[in-house]
Chain A
Amino acid sequence: MEEKTPTFDPNQGTEQHRAGKTDKSRRRFFKLLGGGIAVTFVLQDAFALLSDSGSAPSPRKAFADEVDAWLHIGENNKVTVYTGKVEVGQNIRTSLAQVVAEELQLPIGSIDMVMGDTALTPYDAGTFGSRTTPSMGPQLRRAAATAREIVLDLAAKEWNTDKHTLSISNGQVLHPGTNESKTFGELTKGKEFLKPLAGDVPLTPASAWKVAGTSVPKVNGEEILTGKHKYVSDMKLPGMLYGKVLRAPSFKASLKSADLSAAKALPGVVAVQEGDFIGVAAPDPQTAEKAIKAIKVQWQEVPQPSRAELFSFLKENASGGGGRGSTRKGSIERGMNTATQKLKSSYTVDYIAHAPMEPRAALAQWENGHLTVWTGTQRPFAVRDDLARAFGLPQEKVRVLMPDTGSAYGGKHTGEAALEAARLAKAAQKSVTLTWTREEEFTWAYFRPAGLIEVYSGVTEDGTLTAWEFQNYNSGASGIHTPYVVPHQQIQHHPVDSPLRQGSYRGLASTANIFVIESQMDDLANLVGMDPLAFRLKNLDEPRLRAVFEAAAKGFGWGSAKPAPNHGFGVGGGTEKGGFTATCAEVAVDPGSGEVKVVRTTTAFECGAVVNPAHLDNQILGAIVQGLGGALFEAVDFGNGKILNPHFAQYRVPRFKDTPAIEIIQLDRKDLPSAGAGEAPIVGIAPAIRNAIAQATGIRLKSLPLVPKGMKGMLGSR
C-alpha cells in the first residue's frame, strides 16, 4: 500500500515528541493494518512492538492501569481491536466488543477482536485475576471514544461546523442541520491518523448504554455449535507430526538411563532426548504412542509425602508466617478477654484440579529460525518469553497465538505443551502438534493449593465479634481478611513448599479462606443462638456485601421458608476481586443412604455496572456449579509422587444430576465501575452448602471437600 503522511491530526501536538523516532514503526503499522485508517494507540508500546529493531515491549508492573490495546477503523468501517487478553469461556470477546461498539455507536458485527497474538497485540501480563473487565474494558472504551472524537473532528472540519452539533449512529456521522451523513471510512479518506489514548475523552455513562449493558449473544457462538471453531487441538499444518512425551513415573523422578533406539526404528518417528526430557514425534498419534512405549527407560524415584499426611506436613513445614496478606490489628489477648464465648477450629482444604475440558495443547512450527506456537494459555506473552529463553531466541523471533480455548479457570497460566511441541518440532524439523491426555492434564498440570486453616475467635453474648485469629498454612492470601468488623485481629499466612505443584485457581485462595470464614461465622452464630444471617449483618459494615446478603436471603426466602425434615438452609458470602457475592443453599440429606443433595441455591452478585447480563448470569452459574464440585466431592488423591485419581471416573466433577435449581440475582450498579465476574461468585457456595448440612444434621464439617463419600456412617453419631 502507498504510504502517506498525515495531513491533519486533531491532536498532533501531543504526539510530536514521538513522531520522529517512530516514523518507521508507524509506516509498518499502517502497512500491517492496511486501508485508509484512523488509529488510536494506547501507550508507546505499540511503536516498540512494531519497530524494526524488534525491541518488544517489556513486562512492566502487571496490574498497572496502563493496560495496552489498540484500535483501528478501516475504510470499510470495520473496527479491529487488538488486545493481549484471551478468551477461555468468560465471553470477553463479546463483552469487550460491546464496550467498543457502545462508544463508536457501531453494530457489534463491525468489530473484529484480535486477541492474544504476541505478534499483533500489545504486551499483556495475562488474562487472570478478573482484570479484563475493570482494566481492559475501560481502556478500550477510552480508545474507542478517542477514535470517535477524531471522526467527529474530521466531520466538523469537512462541514465547517461545530462538532457538538453532530451525532453518530451506525458507523456514520450525521449533520442534523443539512441531513448530510458520511461513514467513518469516507471521513478518513485513506489518510492515516495516529493518536494516543485521550485521558479526558467523554465516555458514555453506564446509565446511557445501549449496546454495553445488554445481552449480546456470544459473538462466535455459531462457529462453536457447528464444530467450525478451531481450538488448538483441532489445528493442523501440512506435513505436521503428532508429539508425545515420555512421562516420569512420579514427580521429581530423575532419569537414570534411556534407550530410544526401538522408537527411532519405527517408520517416520523422531525420538528426542534432552536431559530428562524424552519425547517423540510421529506421523499419527497411534505411532507416537507405540514409539513412547518402545523406549526403555529407568528412573530414580524419590520418596514424597502422601495425601494421608498432607495436613500435618503443611503445618510442620510451614514458614513462620508473615506471608502475603498477614496483618495484625489490636491484640488477640485483649479481644479474647472481652469475649463471652470462644471458638477454636481447624479446617482443611484438599488440592483440587481445574480439569478444563480441553487439555493443554500446542502446535509448533519453525520457519527460518522463527518459532510460531499456537497454544491454549492465559499468558501468551509469558509463554513467548519462556520459549525465547528455552531456545535462546530473541523475543521477536517467537510468536505465540492463542485461539479461543477450551477453558482454563486459572489452570493455564503456563505453557508446558508449547515448550514440548516446540522442542519436538525443532528436532523433527517439521511442525508438531501435541495434546495432553486427560491423565497428563490431571497429573502434570498444577492444582489449587491444599491448606490447613486454624481459626480462634471470640464473641460477646449479644453476638458482637471481639477477636479473630486466622492461621493459614499454604492456602494463600486471597480472601484471607475477614470482611466483618473485628477490633482485634491477627491474620497469618504461612507459605509452605507444597508437596504438589500448585498455582492459580478460580477465586484463588478465597475458595478456601472464605469457606473457613463463613463456616466459623455460622458456628459462632450457633454458639450465641443467633440466626446466621442476622449474626453476619450485625458484624458487617460493607454496604455492598450487606446488599448481596440481603438480596440473596430475600430471593431464597430466608426467615420465611422453613426447611423440610432432613433438609437444611445455609448461607455464605464474601468479596473478591471487586465482586460481592452471597449464596443461600438448601440441602437434603438422606438419613438412610447418607446421600447429600443440593436442592436449590440463590446467589446474589454485584460487580458494578453489568456489561452483559446473560453472560454475567452464565459466569455466576458456572461458578456455582464448579464451586459445588469443590464443596462436595472434588479432591486430588496422591501418594509418593503419583496422582492416584487422574481420570474422570475417579476424580468426580459436577454433572447434570448434581446441579441444583440455581437462582441468580444480579444487582446492577450502574453508578459503579464494572468489575470482573469470573471468579468472585464461586466463594459463597461451599460455605452455604456446609452450613446447610450443619442445619440439617447438626454436623459442622470442617474439610473441603465436605462429603466425598456422602454422610453414611456420620449420621448415627448425632
Chain B
Amino acid sequence: MELRINGKKRTVTADAKTPLLYVLRDELDMTGTKYGCGEGQCGACTVLLGDAAVRSCQIPASAAQGKEITTIEGLAQDGKLHPVQQAYLNEDVFQCGYCASGMVMSTVALLRAKPKPTEEEIIGFMNGNVCRCGTYPRILAAIKEAAKA
C-alpha cells in the first residue's frame, strides 16, 4: 500500500484494514500521533486527510490512500513552527502534553475551514478533543491567537 504522508510517498506493508494510527505509529515510527482511546472519543490521534481532521484510530489505512495525510511531524517547515504550534507555545498551554498533537491538528483543520472562527465555533469544533489536564481555556486562547496570525 502506498500512502502520502507529510508530502512524502511511503510504502507500507500493513494490512489494508489496519487503522491509520497504528500504521503511523508502529510501522512508520511516527509517534507524534497518539493513542488515547482507539474509539474516536478523545481526539488524541487526530491527523489531517487533505484539509479535514480525522481520528486516525477510526479509519483503515486503505481509506487514506490517494489522499494527502498530514501529521504533527509534518507541520513545522525548515525548523520553523507552524503558526498554530507557535501560538500554543506562546500560550504555554500544556501540562502533560499528551493531547497536544491532536489538539494542534484539529486546530489546523478548523482554521483551514474557517480562518476566523467565533468562540462558539471553536468550542463546537474542538469538543471531540479531550485534555484531561483541563487546559481548555488556554487552548482556546491559543486558537484565537493563531486565528489572528
Q: Is the CB of A357 within 8 A of B42?
A: yes
B40 to chain A, nearest CB (A): 9
Which chain A residues lie closer than 8 Å to B129 at the CB level? 655-656
B 81-92 binary contact with A (CB < 8 Å = 1; else 0): 100010011001
What is the size, in residues, of chain B's interface with A at 8 Å between Cβ atoms?
A: 58
B 57-71 binary contact with A (CB < 8 Å = 1; else 0): 000000000000001
Nearest B residue to A648 via CB reads B41
A669 within 8 A of B: no
Which chain A residues lie closer than 8 Å to B127 at the CB level? 655-657
- Please report the C-alpha to C-alpha distance between residue A623 and residue B129 in the assembled complex, in whole angstroms: 18
**Residue picked from A228, A405, A406, A647, most chain B C-beta under 10 Å:** A406
Which chain B residues lie closer than 8 Å to A170 at the CB level? none
A150 to chain B, nearest CB (A): 34
Q: Is the CB of A648 within 8 A of B37?
A: yes
B146 to chain A, nearest CB (A): 12
Q: Is the CB of B22 within 8 A of A224?
A: no
Which chain A residues lie closer than 8 Å to B138 at the CB level? 618, 621
Given contacts A222-B89, A286-B15, contact A653 B39 (CB under 8 A): no
How many A-B residue contacts, CB cutoff 8 Å? 174
Of A218, A233, A621, the residue contacting B134 (CB under 8 A) is: A621
Q: Is the CB of B34 within 8 A of A358?
A: yes
A649 within 8 A of B: yes
A435 within 8 A of B: yes
Nearest B residue to A235 via CB reads B31
B56 within 8 A of A: no
Q: Is the CB of A625 within 8 A of B136?
A: yes
Nearest B residue to A647 via CB reads B39
- Please report the C-alpha to C-alpha distance between residue A229 and residue B72 in the assembled complex, in whole angstroms: 12
Q: Is the CB of A649 within 8 A of B39?
A: yes
Given contacts A227-B32, A648-B42, contact A221 B92 (CB under 8 A): yes
Q: Is the CB of B92 within 8 A of A358?
A: no
Q: Is the CB of A653 within 8 A of B132?
A: yes
B123 within 8 A of A: yes
B96 within 8 A of A: yes
- Please report the C-alpha to C-alpha distance between residue A562 and residue B139 in the assembled complex, in whole angstroms: 31
B97 within 8 A of A: yes
Nearest A residue to B87 via CB reads A225
A 626-666 binary contact with B (CB < 8 Å = 1; else 0): 10000000000000000000011100011111010010000
Given contacts A226-B75, A236-B29, A621-B137, contact A89 B37 (CB under 8 A): no
B147 within 8 A of A: no
Which chain B residues lie closer than 8 Å to A217 at the CB level? 89, 92
A15 within 8 A of B: no
Of A90, A227, A621, the residue contacting B135 (CB under 8 A) is: A621
Given contacts A227-B73, A357-B132, A622-B135, contact A89 B97 (CB under 8 A): yes
- Please report the C-alpha to C-alpha distance between residue A224 and residue B25 in the assembled complex, in whole angstroms: 16
Q: Is the CB of B41 within 8 A of A656?
A: no
B100 within 8 A of A: yes
A234 within 8 A of B: yes
Q: Is the CB of B38 within 8 A of A227?
A: no
B111 within 8 A of A: no
Q: Is the CB of A221 within 8 A of B136?
A: no
- Please report the C-alpha to C-alpha distance between residue A145 and residue B89 in the assembled complex, in whole angstroms: 31
Which chain B residues lie closer than 8 Å to A26 at the CB level? none
Which chain B residues lie closer than 8 Å to A242 at the CB level? 26
Of B33, B35, B122, B123, the residue contacting A435 (CB under 8 A) is: B35
Which chain A residues lie closer than 8 Å to B41 at the CB level? 438, 647-649
**B-side interface mostly:** loop
Which chain A residues lie closer than 8 Å to B44 at the CB level? 357
B52 within 8 A of A: no
Which chain A residues lie closer than 8 Å to B72 at the CB level? 225-227
A interface, how many residues as a size bin?
A: 35 or more
Which chain B residues lie closer than 8 Å to A226 at the CB level? 32, 72-73, 75-76, 81, 85
B 74-117 binary contact with A (CB < 8 Å = 1; else 0): 01100001000100110010111111110010000000000000
A212 to chain B, nearest CB (A): 16
Within residues 295 to 348 of chain A, which ones have a CB less than 8 A from any CB in chain B? none
Within residues 1 to 44 of chain B, which ones have a CB less than 8 A from any CB in chain A? 14-15, 18, 22, 25-27, 29-39, 41-42, 44
Q: Is the CB of A438 within 8 A of B132?
A: no
Nearest A residue to B79 via CB reads A226
A 352-392 binary contact with B (CB < 8 Å = 1; else 0): 00011111000000000000000000000000000000000
A496 within 8 A of B: no
- Please report the C-alpha to C-alpha distance between residue A334 and residue B88 in the assembled complex, in whole angstroms: 59
Given contacts A217-B92, A226-B85, A230-B31, contact A647 B37 (CB under 8 A): yes
B10 to chain A, nearest CB (A): 16
Q: Is the CB of A618 within 8 A of B37?
A: no
Q: Is the CB of B92 within 8 A of A625?
A: no
A91 within 8 A of B: yes
- Please report the C-alpha to C-alpha distance between residue A555 and residue B97 in the assembled complex, in whole angstroms: 30
- Please report the C-alpha to C-alpha distance between residue A603 and residue B123 in the assembled complex, in whole angstroms: 23
Q: Is the CB of A357 within 8 A of B99?
A: yes
Of A406, A435, A438, the residue contacting B96 (CB under 8 A) is: A406
A22 within 8 A of B: no
Which chain B residues lie closer than 8 Å to A227 at the CB level? 30-33, 71-73, 100-101
Which chain B residues lie closer than 8 Å to A90 at the CB level? 95
Which chain A residues lie closer than 8 Å to B14 at the CB level? 284, 286
B68 to chain A, nearest CB (A): 18
- Please report the C-alpha to C-alpha distance between residue A92 and residue B77 in the assembled complex, in whole angstroms: 30
Nearest B residue to A625 via CB reads B134
B131 within 8 A of A: yes
Nearest A residue to B94 via CB reads A224
Which chain A residues lie closer than 8 Å to B76 at the CB level? 226
Of A356, A625, A648, the residue contacting B39 (CB under 8 A) is: A648
Which chain B residues lie closer than 8 Å to A619 at the CB level? 95
Which chain B residues lie closer than 8 Å to A653 at the CB level? 130, 132
Of A229, A234, A614, A648, the residue contacting B130 (CB under 8 A) is: A648
Which chain B residues lie closer than 8 Å to A88 at the CB level? 96
Q: Is the CB of B92 within 8 A of A655?
A: no
B74 to chain A, nearest CB (A): 9
B131 to chain A, nearest CB (A): 7
Nearest A residue to B126 via CB reads A656
Of B35, B88, B96, B126, the residue contacting A225 (CB under 8 A) is: B88
Q: Is the CB of B73 within 8 A of A224?
A: no
B60 to chain A, nearest CB (A): 12
Q: Is the CB of B94 within 8 A of A221?
A: yes
- Write the residues of chain A forming the contact surface with B, with a CB cutoff of 8 angstroms: 88-91, 215, 217-218, 221-222, 224-231, 233-234, 236, 242, 284-286, 355-359, 404-407, 409, 435, 437-438, 614-615, 618-619, 621-626, 647-649, 653-657, 659, 662
List 14 A–B pairs whose Cβ atoms lie within 8 Å, in order of A's numbering: A224-B97, A225-B72, A225-B97, A226-B72, A227-B71, A227-B100, A233-B31, A357-B132, A358-B36, A621-B137, A622-B95, A648-B42, A656-B126, A659-B134
Other contacts beyond A227-B71, A285-B22: 5, CB < 8 A:
A218-B92, A228-B32, A357-B130, A406-B97, A407-B98
